[in-house]
Each structure stands twice: as structure tokens, then as C-alpha cells.
Homo-oligomer: A and B are copies of this chain.
Amino acid sequence: MEMDNMEQTGGAIFEQGKQSIKVPVPVYIRASASVVGTKEGKGPLGSLFDMIGVDDKFGCDTWEEAESTLQKEALTLAIGKAGLKNSDIRFLYAGDLLSQSMASSFGLGSFGIPLLGVYGACSTSALTLASATIAIAGGVAQYAACVTSSHFASAEKEFRYPLAYGNQRPASSSWTVTGSGAFIISSRKGECDRAMLTGVTIGKIVDFGVKDSMNMGACMAPAACDTILTHLEDFGRVPSDYDRIITGDLGMVGQQALICMLREKGCDIENVHMDCGIEIYDKSQGTASGGSGCGCAAVTLSAYILKQLEEKKWKRILFVPTGALLSKTSFNEGQTIPGIAHAIELVSP
């Protein structure tokens, strides 16, 4: 990696003119947890999740409260696995897909941890990890926590139609994952760290003019393409330097678009590409293009990806969840659906 034009400010290192951060001090994922709904529990990763709900309301009266409960359970589990108490966590980074990040507002108040709310649509898991890494590498926290979630029923109601309407789903549509992932990030090496956070690439808004809210893969693929290319260029790497380059929820339609777009730019990721949305459900589960939602990337990271790193099956991966910057209002007003993708480089501990 070329390190000319580097600048030292405070304690960390950045390079001017580059979009990425090479994390200058060790930052660890100390522990993590995943809580999912019934459909995810029956999928190919089912046995790896920490908790599977008996039903998707998680004992609550509304879908939104159920989603808040997912976050609460995931964070409680993650803090417990890290052997910490709430007051050890200096900052909590959290967000979700609902209007005004409602699942986080009502799921996380009882923890009493200073909260920095973030919004990156389905890229939120990477945005929380990137923000926590910046804080920890910069020396303002010893422990930070990251939480995000999505819920099939609350998301359909928020972005498309209430479930009771029974709308038809085209082949390009994806199925919002009911799930929450929580991560404890630390500046100190622990005995059982799951991975190290070594690089961050913050994405830009990329708008290819797609307007179809039933084809999120097409909306987000251009952003994933931009962030992956920028990351590789900033770090002077090629796709084969990674055991996997993992998008969050492009699904089968978006995966094809991403691979084609990158190939046009002379970058072939086909052999190392994985998409959480494709992994989380079996084809027999009838999810059309695959899984989606903030929770999709978050629970797959916690349950499956970190396991491979922890067990040294993979040495280095690039985690690139993508977000579709869509709202009901913007959709109804005929706006496009821009995308954004943030990338996190993770290595085995």
C-alpha cells in the first residue's frame, strides 16, 4: 500500500485524497450475537444463530415492538458474551430501517448507554461498525457496541404494503430478514476475539436512476461497485487478496448486476463474492431474489462470517452491506432510489 501523502493528526493515520481508513491501531470485535425470526431459523444458517423467536411477534403487540425486542435481546446477549456490563460500554451506535429509527429508540433506552443514532438503510451494520472503529481507533472509547435490526412485517408496512394486503412479489423482490445483530468492539485484545477491524471505506451516494422498490438489488449494486473499487484502489489490492467480498443484501438479481458492473471496470470478483441475502434463505423458502434488510447482513456477519474468521478458515474478508435510500414518501413522489455502501475489512484475530 502506497503511504505517501500521509498525515498524522491526533493518534491515527489517514491519507489525503483517499476515501478509506487504514485502521492504525488494533480494533477487535470482542463478541457478537444474532437473534432471528422463524423463517431465518429454518434457513441454511439456522443452527448458527444465538436465538430464534418462537413466533415473529416476540411476545409483543406490534411488529415494531417485536423489532425493538430483537435489538434488546441481541445487545443483551452480546454484552453478556463479552463478559461486560452495560456501564462498560462507552458508546452505542444503532439504527434501523423504520421511520425515525423507531426500533432503536424503543429497544435501547433501557440500557442507559450513550447513544449515537446512525442511518444508512441496509448498510447500517457497516456504518455502525465504521463509526465505532473511528471512535475506538481515535482513542475516545475502550468499548463500543453496535446494533441494527430489521423485521419483515415492519419493513413491508414501512416501505411497501401491510402484510394483510397480500400483494404479489416479483422475482426481483427480496425478503426483509427478521433479525438483529449486535457487536462489541474493543481497543483491547481479548482472549476470544472474533475478528479484527483493519480497514474502513465510507461510501458515497450513488444514484443510477432506478425507481423500482421491488428491485432493491438493482438500486444498490452501483453503490457496492463504487465502494468495492474505491476500497481496492485505496489499499492497492485485488479481489483475490480477500477470502470473500461479501455484500449485504443484493440478492440474486443484484449479485449479477454487481459482478457485471465490476467486470466492465476490469475487476472480477465472481470467485470470491458472497451475498448474505443469498446465503440466509434456501431457494425452497420462496424469497424470490433473497434476503434483505439491515438485519440480513448483521446476523450473517455475527453467526456465519465471524465464525469463519474466528476459526481461521478465512483470513481476510471485505464486508460491504449496501443500503437503498428509499422512503415511502420519496417513492410516492416519483423519486429515484439512490444507493450507498460502506466497506469494512475484517481479518481473523
A residues with a Cβ closer than 8 A to B are 7-14, 16-17, 19, 21, 24-25, 62, 64-65, 87, 90-91, 95, 97-102, 105-106, 108-109, 112-121, 127, 130-131, 134-142, 158, 187, 201-207, 325-330, 333, 335, 338, 340
Contacts and interface: CB of A to CB of B under 8 A. Distances in A.
Copies of the chain in the assembly: 2
Residue of A65, A326, A327 most packed against chain B (CB within 10 A): A327
B105 A116 contact: no
Given A100-B330, A116-B118, A116-B131, 11 more contacts: A98-B329, A100-B121, A101-B119, A101-B325, A105-B330, A105-B338, A106-B325, A115-B203, A116-B127, A131-B131, A138-B138
A329 B118 CA distance: 19
B326 A139 contact: no
A114 B204 contact: yes
B100 A119 contact: yes
30 contacts: A9-B139, A10-B11, A10-B24, A10-B136, A10-B137, A10-B139, A11-B12, A11-B139, A12-B138, A14-B141, A24-B139, A65-B333, A98-B329, A102-B329, A102-B330, A105-B205, A105-B325, A105-B327, A105-B338, A106-B325, A109-B204, A109-B205, A113-B204, A115-B203, A115-B205, A116-B202, A117-B340, A119-B119, A137-B140, A138-B139
